[in-house]
Amino acid sequence: MGIGIRKPKFELKTPEQFARMREAGLVVADALEQVRVAVAPGVRTIELDEIAEAVIRGAGATPSFLGYHGYPASICVSVNSEVVHGIPGARVLEDGDLVSIDCGAIVDGWHGDAALSVPVGEISAEVADLSAVTEGALWAGLRAAKAGNHIGDIGAAVKQYVREQDHSFGIVVDYVGHGIGSSMHMPPNVPNIGNPGKGPEIVVGMALAVEPMITLGSAEVDVLADDWTVVTQDGRPAAHWEHTVAITANGPVVTTAADGGLAGLSPV
Ligand code: MF3
Ligand code: CO
């Protein structure tokens, strides 16, 4: 044991690197918006993938999911009981479905990653509430993602928000958010449950993907035979919302939100 220079455990980004991450994040935001408005009964999920890939490539960016551990598409499309990592294909969206879209892009080697759940036509009040609570939980988590806090504060905020809204929703713990930067997935893990003040300290230079996955029933999940699609064991619907947040010297910036997170980080 000698005296050495303490190497940071987590990749810390320079302002210039954060600027590239913001560019990647805005490409993801644009792709998700184009997909969101295309969602309708009768649309095949592969059509959504084609839209997202065209937006990403049109911006001169690269789809990060395509080829990731062999993943065959540019987005994940997870319908109803599919929680995350659904593969786009011939499936036709139907009135009443809730479809979660996850998208990632790379600009000059720097990543953005975000997801949202979109109603198809008219959905039940129960499922609309599930999606709204998941989105609210995401923003509660993002508001806790600031320098001086700890990773456990994020999960604690997500869980507290969900429990304040509804005591029966399931919080998926088998999948977690993550550090992000020169790779899509980097340490630290960002769980959707946690203890305040516990876990690694959040410092300037970190970037985190916060992504609550919330279910109408039990939080237990399985992976389908395609080795990707994560589904609820009880077959009940799930919602998934995600953003990438950069912890800058001027405070947190949500790179994948068009407004940088201004509205969601400081609600009036
Ligand atoms: N974006 C997902 C996540 O939230 C990962 C997708 S894995 C892929 O971390 F293979 F589909 F790309
Ligand atoms: Co992610």
Tens digit of each residue's pLDDT (9 = 90 or more) over 176-194: 999 999 999 999 999 999 9
Q: What is the best residue among 32, 62, 84 to mutate for testing ligand 1's pocket, by most ligand atoms within 8 Å of CB?
A: 84
Q: Is the CB of 242 under 6 A from ligand 1?
A: yes
For residue 23, pLDDT beyond 90: yes
Q: Where are the alpha helices (DSSP H) in the chain?
A: 15-38, 45-58, 125-144, 151-165, 262-265
3-state helix, strand, coil in the chain (%, to 5): 30, 25, 45
Tokens 């009443």 sit on residue: 96
* Distance in angstroms (rounded) separating the CA atoms of residues 49 and 193: 31
Percent of the chain residues topping a pLDDT of 90: 95
Give the whole-angstrom CA distance, residue 58 versus residue 110.
17
Look at residue 8 and tell me whether its pLDDT is greater than 80: no
Could you tell me what percent of the chain has a pLDDT over 70? 97
The alpha carbon of residue 65 and the mean position of all alpha carbons in its chain are separated, in whole angstroms, by 13
| Cα–Cα distance list, 201 to 9, 14, 57, 167 (Å) | 11, 18, 36, 29
66-100, pLDDT tens digit by residue? Answer: 999 999 999 999 999 999 999 999 999 999 999 99
What are the domain boundaries of the chain? Answer: 15-258
Residue of 76, 226, 227, 230 with the most ligand 1 atoms within 8 Å of its CB, for mutation: 76
84 CA distance to ligand 2 middle (Å): 10
Average pLDDT, stretch 95-107? 99
Domain spanning 15-258: CATH superfamily = Creatinase/methionine aminopeptidase superfamily (3.90.230.10)
